[in-house]
């Protein structure tokens, strides 16, 4: 599926530039959002590539400040796609995301979820803590039929205070979280003038994405696994390929974080 919706913005006035951990010991955010920051990632997937994402502008939404991002096209990493279509707020070790989440499933139609202030990181919580849960129904017109997906997004903390080595660089003070998407799906249409509904996706985990953030840097590593096993497609008269353990790895290469 093509990734069509990203543009390139190059912002000057950068204060610091590094591809290694600065080993700072002060209290800081795990996703600094000052304008003028950027991150580049090596992405290993069915189609390998390199992502670049930039802070674009600060917006006030419902009384809180959020950061908007832009990314260079095409986008290869799932997390890059999430940020470039969302607004992000970071405060006291917590990270909120509101916007659209394209699961980048290799299907003839896009599967996009709406997120409403989903907490995807909270460094004040222990590993295994539930951070957020949101349900969404995605309705997709397809070849004269209607595909309806009932999906649930869940975010949880992973064990923190770890070190991680990415692209030969070791980052300390790393906090991790996981986002998972579970759901079911049916296709509705008519057969000889009679309305019919056929289940095509049994309850299953469609996405599991682990995220690792380094203090005062942002995301350093993401590993996403996509799965979607369909059934009854012949009865519905359509063909979708199953998605079996499609892996998307996103690793930080370079970054520049501005001070507020």
Given this model, what pLDDT does residue 32 score? Answer: 87
Quick one: average pLDDT of 29-43? 92
Query: Do the Cβ atoms of 103 and 129 come closer than 8 Å?
Result: no
Burial readout 201-235 (b: 16 or more C-beta within 10 A, e: otherwise): beeeebbbbebbbbbbbbbbbbbbbbebebeeeee
**How many angstroms separate the CA atoms of 241 and 50, rounded?**
26
What six digits make up the tokens of 108?
Answer: 């003839």
**CA end-to-end span of the chain:** 37
Tell me the pLDDT tens digit for each residue of 223-245: 999 999 999 888 777 888 899 99
DSSP string, 99-155: EEEE---SSSS--EEEEEEEEEEETTS-TT-EEEEEEEEEEEEETTEEEEEEEEEEE
Given this model, what pLDDT does residue 9 score? Answer: 29
203 CB-side CA count, 13 A? 1
Residue 12 has pLDDT above 90, yes or no: no
Tell me the pLDDT tens digit for each residue of 180-223: 999 999 999 877 778 889 999 999 999 999 999 999 999 999 99
Q: Tell me the C-alpha to C-alpha distance, in Å, between residue 65 and each of 10, 52, 89, 241, 257.
A: 22, 23, 6, 41, 18
**Degrees to nearest 5, angle at CA 81 with 76 and 86:** 170
Given this model, what pLDDT does residue 6 score? Answer: 32
Residue closest to 115 by CA, chosen among 181, 62, 56, 185? 181
Residue 25 has pLDDT above 50, yes or no: no
Mean of per-residue pLDDT scores for the chain: 86
């Amino acid at each position: 599926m093509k990734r069509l919706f990203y543009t390139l913005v190059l912002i000057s006035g950068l204060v610091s530039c590094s591809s290694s951990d600065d080993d700072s010991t002060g209290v800081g955010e795990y996703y600094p959002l000052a304008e003028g920051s950027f991150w580049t990632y090596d992405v290993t997937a069915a189609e390998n590539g390199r992502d670049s994402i930039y802070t674009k502008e600060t917006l006030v939404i419902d009384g809180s400040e959020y950061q908007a991002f832009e990314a260079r096209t095409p986008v290869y990493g799932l997390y890059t796609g999430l940020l470039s279509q969302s607004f992000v707020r970071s405060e006291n070790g917590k990270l909120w995301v509101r916007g659209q989440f394209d699961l980048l499933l290799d299907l003839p139609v896009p599967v996009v979820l709406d997120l409403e202030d989903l907490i995807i990181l909270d460094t004040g919580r222990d590993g295994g803590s539930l951070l957020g849960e949101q349900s969404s129904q995605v309705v997709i017109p397809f070849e004269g039929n209607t595909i309806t997906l009932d999906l649930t997004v869940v975010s949880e903390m992973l064990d923190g205070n770890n070190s991680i080595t990415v692209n030969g660089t070791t980052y300390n003070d790393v906090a991790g979280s996981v986002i998972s998407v579970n759901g079911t799906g049916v296709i509705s249409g008519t057969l000889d003038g009679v309305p019919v509904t056929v289940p095509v996706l049994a309850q299953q985990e469609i996405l599991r994405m682990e995220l690792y953030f380094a203090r005062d840097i942002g995301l350093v590593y993401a590993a996403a696994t996509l799965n979607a096993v369909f059934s009854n497609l012949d009865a519905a008269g359509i063909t979708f390929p199953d998605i079996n353990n499609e892996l998307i790895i996103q690793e930080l290469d370079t970054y520049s974080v501005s001070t507020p």
